[in-house]
């Protein structure tokens, strides 16, 4: 029986103690990958390199670029063929400043050339298959190594350590994963992942009717920090505040990520928790990262990869983010177009924290509205629905009236009625079994002036039911 069948069909029927056992099993397996010897070694190195001078950083990155480009040319069919067609060789790329000579790698390039992006000198048994859809609903398959996973977790934990949180600290993780079945009507609305030192709370149960039990649980434990999507943690703060509930045992920090934290979300979360709010920016593809320093400035995690900013249009300070990763030689991503934009600090500026790595003033990722379910839950992310939807090119979720959504979808050639039925089933599983779904098929999704489209668009009449997507990016982090 496949793991997906166990998760979808068997897990929801288990009693709570066996669901906790399943979470323990998953956590134990993940802990071995994330937090072994590689993690410890990388974290020690990261703590040392954090205070390197600009010259040391430049020398390190240039050396890494030369190694990466030669490796990709010699071992990765996609790059070798593409660069040869452009008459480029490894000798042409000697430093960070030479990267613009190379073509941009798009998500569509990765979708169409997944197997040809795997390094031929890496045994297949060393690869870990991953898939993601991001906020656009575009399914993306790729590979990472266990060493790359551990490296990324070391980067994330270095960020947390800047705010006084040490590895092993107990925390509450607010997730969209269905660790608590959607149809559960009584507490506990949480599960324990003890190997990763976390309690798991799902977005589907952060409703006005259940928030009292959730806050009672949070007050019964000592969690050093909260982590998760800002929209989910905001849901907690919103319903608890409206019910007049308070945290008697608040976290020291709240780490969010994967979404922009909107201004009103930051205000509400900070008021409710009284905690430090901080963020790191990264992507599942393990090729670039930027983390807040104690001054709440994003610093490029230069050891992990390079983040370039490519001009979108004259006069616009926001630039398209391209990432070149150093961690994952098995599936190297070079000048990979992440799909977000950022505003870089002017060259020559220094951060009061004393770090010399390149800094960003803000990350301007996708700013989305939310859908309100019949149960009263506010949902900003639908990426879980489309992880395996390979016949979907682009998708946007639109809500024009309560109780119903429109899936505005751009089809690939293989799309059929079975895909539509599967998407409907996934929305019932992940989002709400009572939410009516209709489909609208279009040639393309309408873009905003910055070239992107909103993954979730609310057109509800009442302004109180819409998020303020014109608010600036604020402090965040994740996981």
Please give the mean pLDDT across all residues of the chain. Answer: 88
Phi first, then psi, for residue 174 (nearest 5°) are -100, 115
Quote the pLDDT of residue 39.
97
Quote the pLDDT of residue 448.
57
> In which region does residue 300 sit, left (phi positive, over 0), alpha (psi from -120 to 50) or beta (all else)?
beta
Quote the pLDDT of residue 430.
86
- Greater confidence (442 vs 479) lies with 442
- Is-cis flag, bond preceding 260, omega within 30? no
Rounded distance between C-alpha atoms, residue 200 and residue 20, angstroms: 10
**Cβ density class 347-386: b for 16+ within 10 Å, e for less:** eeeebebebbbbbbbbbbbbbbbbbbbebebbbbbbbbbb
- pLDDT surpasses 90 at 91: yes
- pLDDT surpasses 60 at 304: yes
Rounded distance between C-alpha atoms, residue 351 and residue 477, angstroms: 20
∠ at Cα 426 (218, 284), nearest 5°?
Answer: 65
**Mean predicted confidence (pLDDT) in 461-472:** 42
pLDDT digits (tens, 9 = 90+) for 384-397: 788 778 888 778 89
- pLDDT surpasses 50 at 400: yes
Task: Grade residue 472 by pLDDT with cuts at 50, 70 and 90.
Answer: very low
Are β-strands 392-401 and 456-458 bridged in parallel, bridged antiparallel, or unpaired? parallel
Lookup: tokens for 199: 């309690």
pLDDT digits (tens, 9 = 90+) for 116-162: 999 999 998 889 999 876 545 567 899 999 999 999 999 999 999 99
Task: Grade residue 4 by pLDDT with cuts at 50, 70 and 90.
Answer: low
Rounded distance between C-alpha atoms, residue 409 and residue 443, angstroms: 8
Establish whether domains 3-34+164-279 and 51-158+282-364 are of one fold: yes
Quote the pLDDT of residue 306.
97
Contact between 346 and 361 under an 8 Å Cβ cutoff? The reply is no
User: 291, 357, 337, 54: which is closest to 153 by C-alpha?
Assistant: 291
**Mean predicted confidence (pLDDT) in 7-32:** 93
- pLDDT surpasses 70 at 468: no
Write out the E strands in 332-374.
336-344, 359-364, 371-372
- pLDDT surpasses 50 at 473: no
**Mean predicted confidence (pLDDT) in 60-82:** 98
Task: Grade residue 447 by pLDDT with cuts at 50, 70 and 90.
Answer: low
Quote the pLDDT of residue 463.
43
- pLDDT surpasses 90 at 435: yes
Lookup: tokens for 431: 């989002």
CATH superfamily of 371-465: ANL, C-terminal domain (3.30.300.30)
Contact between 279 and 302 under an 8 Å Cβ cutoff? The reply is no
**Mean predicted confidence (pLDDT) in 311-336:** 90
- pLDDT surpasses 90 at 341: no
Quote the pLDDT of residue 69.
98
Quote the pLDDT of residue 475.
28
Percent of the chain clearing pLDDT 90 (strictly above): 67
- pLDDT surpasses 70 at 464: no
Measured over the CA atoms of residue 355, residue 360, residue 361 and residue 363, the dihedral's sign is negative
Q: What is the 3-state secondary structure (H, E, C) of 454-467?
A: CCEEECCCCHHHCC
Quote the pLDDT of residue 388.
79
pLDDT digits (tens, 9 = 90+) for 219-255: 999 999 999 988 889 889 989 998 999 999 999 999 9
Q: How many other C-beta atoms can be found within 10 angstroms of the C-beta atom of residue 82?
A: 18
User: 41, 286, 30: which is closest to 145 by C-alpha?
Assistant: 286
Contact between 137 and 395 under an 8 Å Cβ cutoff? The reply is yes
Rounded distance between C-alpha atoms, residue 297 and residue 261, angstroms: 15
User: 471, 221, 294: which is closest to 365 by C-alpha?
Assistant: 471
Q: What is the 3-state secondary structure (H, E, C) of 172-234?
A: EEEECCCCCCCCCCCCCCEEEEHHHCEEEEEHHHCCCCCHHHHHHHHHHCCCCEEEECHHHHH
CATH superfamily of 51-158+282-364: ANL, N-terminal domain (3.40.50.12780)
- pLDDT surpasses 70 at 411: yes
- pLDDT surpasses 70 at 54: yes
Tokens 């098995």 belong to which residue?
330
Rounded distance between C-alpha atoms, residue 64 and residue 329, angstroms: 11
Measured over the CA atoms of residue 268, residue 270, residue 273 and residue 279, the dihedral's sign is positive
* Interaxial angle between packed helices 146-161 and 16-34, expressed in degrees from 0 to 180 and rounded to the nearest 10: 100
Q: So where are the chain's domains?
A: 3-34+164-279, 51-158+282-364, 371-465
Q: Which are the contacts of 338, defined by CB distance < 8 A and separation ≥ 6?
A: 283, 285, 288, 321, 322, 323
Quote the pLDDT of residue 156.
97
User: For the domain bounded by 3-34+164-279, which CATH number is listed?
Assistant: 3.40.50
Query: Which residues are 336's β-sheet partners?
Result: 105, 323
pLDDT digits (tens, 9 = 90+) for 276-302: 999 999 888 989 999 999 999 999 999
User: 204, 7, 114, 133: which is closest to 386 by C-alpha?
Assistant: 133
- pLDDT surpasses 80 at 410: yes
Lookup: tokens for 448: 């905003």
- pLDDT surpasses 50 at 450: no
């Amino acid at each position: 029986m496949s793991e997906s069948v166990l998760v979808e069909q068997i897990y929801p029927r288990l009693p709570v103690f066996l669901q906790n056992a399943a979470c323990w099993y998953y956590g134990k397996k993940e802990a071995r990958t994330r937090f072994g010897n590689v993690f410890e070694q990388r974290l020690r190195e990261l703590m040392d390199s954090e205070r390197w001078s600009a010259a040391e950083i430049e020398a390190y990155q240039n050396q890494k670029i030369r190694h990466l480009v030669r490796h990709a040319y010699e071992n990765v069919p996609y790059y070798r063929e593409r660069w040869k067609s452009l008459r480029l060789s490894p000798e042409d790329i000697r430093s960070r400043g030479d990267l613009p000579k190379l073509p941009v790698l798009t998500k569509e390039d990765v979708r169409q050339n997944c197997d040809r992006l795997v390094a031929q000198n890496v045994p297949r048994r060393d690869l870990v298959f991953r898939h993601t859809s991001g906020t656009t609903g575009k399914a993306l398959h790729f590979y990472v190594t266990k060493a790359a996973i551990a490296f990324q977790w070391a980067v994330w934990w270095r960020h947390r350590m800047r705010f006084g949180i040490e590895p092993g600290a107990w925390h509450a993780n607010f997730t969209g994963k269905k660790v608590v079945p959607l149809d559960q009507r009584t507490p506990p609305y949480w599960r324990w992942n003890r190997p990763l030192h976390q309690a798991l709370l799902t977005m589907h149960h952060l409703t006005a009717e259940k928030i009292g039990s959730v806050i009672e649980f949070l007050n019964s434990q000592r969690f050093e920090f909260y982590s998760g999507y800002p929209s989910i943690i905001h849901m907690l703060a919103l319903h608890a505040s409206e019910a007049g509930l308070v945290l008697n045992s608040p976290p020291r920090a709240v780490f969010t990520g994967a979404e922009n934290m909107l201004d009103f979300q930051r205000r509400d979360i900070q008021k409710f928790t009284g905690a430090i709010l901080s963020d790191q920016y990264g992507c599942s593809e393990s090729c670039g990262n930027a983390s807040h320093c104690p001054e709440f400035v994003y610093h490029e995690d230069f050891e992990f990869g390079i983040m370039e900013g490519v001009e979108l249009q004259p006069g616009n300070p926001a630039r398209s983010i391209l990432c070149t990763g150093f961690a994952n030689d098995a599936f190297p991503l070079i000048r990979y177009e992440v799909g977000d934009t950022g505003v870089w600090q002017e060259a020559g500026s220094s951060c009061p924290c004393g770090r010399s790595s390149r800094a960003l003033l803000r990350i301007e990722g996708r700013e989305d509205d939310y859908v309100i379910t019949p149960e009263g839950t506010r949902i900003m992310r639908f990426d879980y629905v489309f992880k395996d939807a390979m016949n979907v090119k682009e998708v946007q979720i639109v809500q024009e009236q309560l109780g119903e959504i429109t899936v505005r979808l751009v089809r690939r050639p293989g799309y059929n009625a079975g895909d539509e039925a599967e998407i409907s089933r996934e929305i019932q599983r992940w989002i709400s079994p009572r939410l009516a779904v209709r489909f609208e098929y279009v040639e393309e999704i309408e873009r905003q002036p910055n070239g992107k489209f909103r993954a979730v668009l609310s057109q509800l009449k009442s302004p109180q039911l819409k998020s303020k997507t014109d608010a600036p990016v604020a402090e965040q982090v994740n996981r």
